[in-house]
């Protein structure tokens, strides 16, 4: 008779890893006008989250506060185990930013733009180890020696995305990265952004007005009437 194998019960230990990002009771006002209050959430490594909300609800300000570029009245942001101090001139190491209007430097070639933040951090003699892969993923090789003003919006946004990720940030903050693009180009850039985050295991906070793009992230939040709430449906 065939020997019976005894059923084993696998005991899984609870995952106790600290989140990559912890936002706790963050409140912001301009003057006496509160913008948002008691904003709290955590984000795990590799997790993606979208934030929707009407124009003026404070999404961009929240993203800036998370990246250390905006002060807050109260609350804390902890990134990768370290406190983020608001109102810094440069955003925190390990956090990459992509903006709606690209913000490439017009006088520099695409190559120089791409390498600028990386060389500030690691020196100009070193090349990013993901340079070739990123250029191929985002289809940027043919534009390297051109000035940003000679590129289309979609091409500029691909360059801005490459610039943000070459130093391999653990967290990418993307503020309406397709807001200036037509639907087809925007969809293409968004696909690339999601693919890049997955490929390099980057966490993502995506501010978007598009329910379709928001649906592509692991979690969805809505900033409304000064409060940030998780959407369950």
Out of 58, 117, 128, 154, which residue is the one contacting ligand ATP (CB under 6 A)? 58
Residue 64, CA distances (Å) to 60, 71, 91, 212, 228 in order: 6, 9, 8, 24, 15
Question: Among 60, 157, 203, 208, which residue interacts with Mg ion (rule: CB under 5 A)?
Answer: 60
Asked if residues 158 and 192 have their Cβ atoms less than 8 Å apart, the reply is yes
Is residue 57 involved in binding ligand ATP (CB under 6 A)?
yes
DSSP string for residues in 175-231: ESTTTTS-HHHHHHHHHHHHHHHHHTT-EEEEE-S-HHHHTTSSEEEEEETTEEEEE
Pattern 3-42, binding to ligand ATP, x per CB under 6 A?
---------------------------x----x-------
Backbone angles phi, psi at 29, to 5 degrees: -140, 150
- Closest by CA position to 205, among listed 1, 104, 60: 60
Q: Is 178 in the site for Mg ion (CB under 5 A)?
A: no
Number of residues that bind Mg ion (CB under 5 A): 1
Under the binding rule (CB under 5 A), the answer on residue 217 touching Mg ion is no
Name which of 56 and 123 has its Cβ closer to ligand ATP: 56
Alpha carbon of residue 17 to chain centroid: 21
CB of 119 to Mg ion, least distance (A): 29
**The one segment of 6-14, 60-68, 118-126, 127-135 that binds Mg ion by CB under 5 A:** 60-68
- Which of 43, 49, 50, 53 lies at the binding interface for ligand ATP (CB under 6 A)? 53
| Candidate residues 48, 50, 60, 210; the one interacting with ligand ATP per rule CB under 6 A | 60
177 binds ligand ATP (CB under 6 A): no
């Amino acid at each position: 008779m065939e020997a019976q194998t005894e059923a084993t019960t696998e005991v899984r230990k609870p995952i106790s890893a600290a989140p990559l990002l912890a936002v706790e009771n963050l409140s912001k006002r301009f003057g006496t006008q509160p913008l948002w209050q008691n904003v709290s959430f955590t984000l795990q490594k590799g997790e993606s989250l979208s934030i929707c909300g009407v124009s003026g609800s404070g999404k961009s300000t929240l993203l800036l506060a998370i990246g250390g570029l905006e002060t807050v009245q109260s609350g804390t942001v902890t990134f990768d185990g370290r406190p983020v101090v608001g109102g810094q001139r440069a955003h925190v190491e390990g956090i990459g930013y992509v903006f709606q209007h690209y913000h490439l430097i017009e006088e520099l070639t695409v190559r120089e733009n791409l390498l600028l933040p990386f060389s500030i951090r690691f020196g100009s003699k070193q090349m990013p180890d993901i340079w070739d892969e990123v250029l191929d993923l985002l289809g940027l090789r043919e534009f390297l020696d051109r000035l940003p003003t000679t590129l289309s919006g979609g091409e500029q946004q691909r360059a801005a995305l490459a610039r943000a990720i070459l130093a391999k940030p653990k967290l990418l903050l993307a503020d309406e990265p397709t807001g200036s693009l037509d639907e087809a180009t925007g969809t293409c850039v968004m696909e690339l952004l999601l693919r890049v985050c997955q490929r390099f295991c980057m966490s993502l906070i995506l501010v978007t007005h598009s329910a379709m793009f928001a649906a592509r992230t692991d979690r969805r939040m809505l900033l409304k009437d000064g409060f940030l709430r998780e959407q369950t449906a």
